[in-house]
Amino acid sequence: MHEWALAEAVISTAIKVAEEEKLKEITEIKIKLGELQQIEIEIFEFALKEIIQPQKQLLRKAKIEIETEKAILKCRVCGQEWNYGDAMKNLCEEESESIHFVPDIAHVYIRCPKCKSPDFEIVKGRGVWVESIEGN
């Protein structure tokens, strides 16, 4: 559902940057996608292509690259930082499945590897943004 809204935001950002930099055409848009952002990449890519359609002149040759940003967690008690992927390896399949669908539930299963506190924040790996735009 939010794939379309995100795709629209990405394209309007790209168009704004192109206007500011007086680009006649955009050749590449690099998008970063947080690991914990619940998004169906296929729907997102489809939405991007559909939204680009009426913008042919500017975006005709645009290559879209989507990169995933690894999620990093940080303990609020002791300051330890650790990798979300590593935390997931220690969980059983059922637990990681439920986190995949409801990321907030991560606090139930994931503990700080150092002090075992469940009180952590997600410092990286959320959101979608335009990393860079190239054109001429």
User: Residues in the site for Zn ion, rule: CB under 5 A?
Assistant: 75, 77-78, 80, 112, 114-115, 117
| CB closer to Zn ion out of 19 and 119 | 119
Least distance to Zn ion, CB of residue 69, Å: 23
Least distance to Zn ion, CB of residue 82, Å: 9
Least distance to Zn ion, CB of residue 111, Å: 8
Least distance to Zn ion, CB of residue 23, Å: 46
Are residues 74 and 88 in contact, defined by beta-carbon separation less than 8 angstroms? no
Buried b (16+ CB within 10 A) or exposed e, 47-59: bbeebbeebeebb
| CB closer to Zn ion out of 77 and 108 | 77
| CB closer to Zn ion out of 102 and 115 | 115
CA atoms of 14 and 36, how far apart (whole Å): 23
Are residues 133 and 17 in contact, defined by beta-carbon separation less than 8 angstroms? yes
Contacts 24+ apart (CB under 8 A), 53-57: 55/11, 55/15, 57/25
| CB closer to Zn ion out of 21 and 119 | 119
